[in-house]
Structure 1
């Protein structure tokens, strides 16, 4: 059994690093401490060659119910710029980046440089929605509910929501979602593109894990470099930037053992056996 301090659980199964948000009594709402732990774990996983793919899901009845209300309201031990008593001392680093590790999680979900798959059940709202949108693919079940819920409590989107949401659902739908803060049921989430795969109740984790394992069994350096180039394009790289980087990445990937195995297997008409290097 996990102790009360285990806000994040982590294990590796068949080269998949499985991250469990573990505050079920709070519907896995993100506290400052949880965000710090999660962002540091993601940073470490970038350099963990045992892990080729990452799966993130929530314990209990939810994926993630957003930011912890105690922190957002300014009533927690950690002051929140804008809502806490102005006389409370605020760390210098937090004055420069008020969201601190909350924002760092969104950054590291991209910079971990490996595919990240989300298995979603129950609520994925606010920061929980933002984090799921930063993942490469989202598997949900029929209990899934998603919302850019920020304006319902009088705050603005954060944790990368304004970046990820219009890229996934399009500008008009993104505007509708942040302006109305509507909560959408699973079928509508699939229609909007918030979910990539919709499975029956209780099956999102298994489906996401199967997909993550399938990626982990492929040529992971090629996959990671390909992922990096797609994100470069989404972040505004020009065609010339991408062509140059594709040339560089092509040489890097071609030098891997998996590239030699892949081409040999193709010529020999057999299934390749990739080792991830």
Structure 2
């Protein structure tokens, strides 16, 4: 599963799938090739039952410095619609979806149907900020700096930031961030609600992994269905959610973990969940 990865590292530990952005010399700036790998890996992980929770972090000094400026500027081997020389040929699929796999990563982070926990340090800006916002919970250390940096380089937000950011920090703060491009230190990020847990420098991975491992040890079908319902609730009506909760409740009740959970409660013992 990992032999084809060139810009990521991946391993499974205690039912947690650990994904590492692995361009440390570029502060894990997102190249076309990296996000292609990341979107494809997330798509596969949906069907890997051993993985019950996912942890996303970055190698080296930062989580992610956003999109690779060489590509955004239109000067790389792969053309960028809008900034590259208009005479350069651009694949039809990219003409129709200019962001390509950059946007698909966000789509697959939701569609993977499993909790994703972020371990943040150093820079988490631009598209890196967007991917952090998509995660279910964010653990940051004291070195973390976050920014919706897009307008600072004359481009607009992408990778779903416009959808997730106002839902996390509120509309006025989201507007301030995308309009000003300001960079916020770790304490400011915690105060704004950009991060959920703030830990000392160098400890974000350990804290995030402990949380991810806890989620992975729970009744994972129930956890993942609960995640799906809460995300669906961001756009669904109350009547739609009430109907779906009824359907999801029947699905979850049919699992072995549901039987174990109720039985252990009656027997006053700790449940031994199997994830099925």
Distance 1:149 1:225 in 2: 34
Tell me what 1:57 maps to: 57
* CA shift for structure 1 position 6: 2.5
Tell me what 1:243 maps to: 242
Distance 2:206 2:13 in 1: 13
Tell me what 2:93 maps to: 93
Q: CA RMSD in A?
A: 1.1
Distance 2:188 2:109 in 1: 25
| SS of 2:117 mapped into structure 1 | strand
* CA shift for structure 1 position 211: 0.1
Q: How do residues 216-235 of structure 1 correspond to structure 2 at under 5 angstroms?
A: 216-234=216-234
| SS of 1:82 mapped into structure 2 | coil
Q: Deviations over 1:130-189 (max 9, x none)?
A: 000000000000000000000000000001110011000100000000000000000000
Distance 1:99 1:78 in 2: 12
| SS of 1:124 mapped into structure 2 | strand
* CA shift for structure 1 position 126: 0.0
Distance 2:93 2:48 in 1: 28
Q: TM-score if structure 1 supplies the norm length? A: 0.98
Q: How do residues 1-277 of structure 1 correspond to structure 2 at under 5 angstroms?
A: 6-234=6-234, 236-277=235-276
* CA shift for structure 1 position 34: 0.2
Q: TM-score if structure 2 supplies the norm length? A: 0.98
* CA shift for structure 1 position 79: 0.5
| SS of 2:12 mapped into structure 1 | strand
Q: Identify unmatched segments of 5+ residues in structure 1.
A: none
Q: Identify unmatched segments of 5+ residues in structure 2.
A: none
